[in-house]
Structure 1
Amino acid sequence: MCSHLLLLSFMLLSPIAFAAGVADTIGTGRNITDSETLVSADGTFTLGFFSPGVSTKRYLGIWFSVSDDAVCWVANGDRPINSNSGVLVISNTGSLLLLDGGGQIVWSTNSSGASSAEAQLLDNGNLVVHDRGSSTILWQSFDHPSNTLLSGMKLGKNIWTGAEWYLTSWRSGDDPSPGAYHRVLDTSGLPDLIVLQGHVRTYRTGPWNGRWFSGVPEVTTYMDLVTRQVTTSPGEISYGYTAKPGAPLSRVVLTETGMAERLVWDAGTRMWQTFFQGPRDVCDAYGKCGAFGLCDAGAAAKSFCNCLTGFNPASPSAWSLRDTSGGCRRKVKLDCANGTTTDGFLLVRGVKLPDTHNATVNMSTTVEDCMARCLADCSCVAYAAADIQGGDVRSGCVMWRDDIIDLRYVDKGQDLYLRLAKSELPAPSPRRPFPTAPVVGASAATVAVVLIILVALFVIRRRRKPIISVFHNSSTVPSTEGHSAAPSQPSIGQGSPAPTVQSVELSFLKKVTNDFSIHNTIGRGGFSVVFEGNLPDGRKVAVKKLTQSSATDDGSEIFMREVKVMSNLKHENLAQLLAYCKEGNERILVYEYMKNRSLNIYIFASDRTRRALLNWEKRLEIIVGVAKGVAYLHGLSKEVIHRDLKPSNILLDDNWRAKIADFGTAKVFVDGQTNPTQVQTAGYTAPEYAAHGRLTLKCDVYSFGVVLLEIISGQRNNASPTLISDAQESWNQHKIKEDLLDAAVAQPEPETLLELERCVQIGLLCVQQSPADRTSMAEVVAMLTTNSSSSRIRQSDRQVIDGMAASSPLREANLSTQEDASGAQGDSIYLT
Structure 2
Amino acid sequence: MRGVSIFTTAISFLLMLTIALAEDQRSSLARGSSISIQDDTTTTILVSPNGHFSCGFYKVATNAFTFSIWFSRSSEKTVAWTANRDAQVNGKGSKLTFRKDGSLALVDYNGAAVWSTNTTATGASRAELDDSGNLVVMDPAGHRLWKSFDSPTDTLLPLQPMTQDTKLVSASARGLPYSGLYTFFFDSNNILSIIYNGPETSSIYWPNPYERSWENGRTTYNSSQYGILNQEGMFLASDKLQFEASDLGDKDVMRRLTLDYDGNLRLYSLNATNGKWSVSWLAFPRLCEIHGLCGINSFCTYMPSLQCSCLEGFEMTEPSDWSQGCRRKENITVKGDHNANNNTEQKFIFVEIPKTDFYGYDFNYTPSVALPVCKQICLNDDGCEAFAYRKGKGECFPKALLINGKKFPDPSNDIYLKFSKEASSSQLLASKPSHICKKLASGDQSWLLDFVDCRLNGEFNYSQAALVLNTAVSCLDEDRRKRPSMNSVVEILLSLME
Normalising by the residue count of structure 2, what TM-score does the alignment of the two structures yield? 0.49
Q: Report which of the two has the higher share of helix.
A: 1
The TM-score with structure 1 as length reference comes to: 0.31
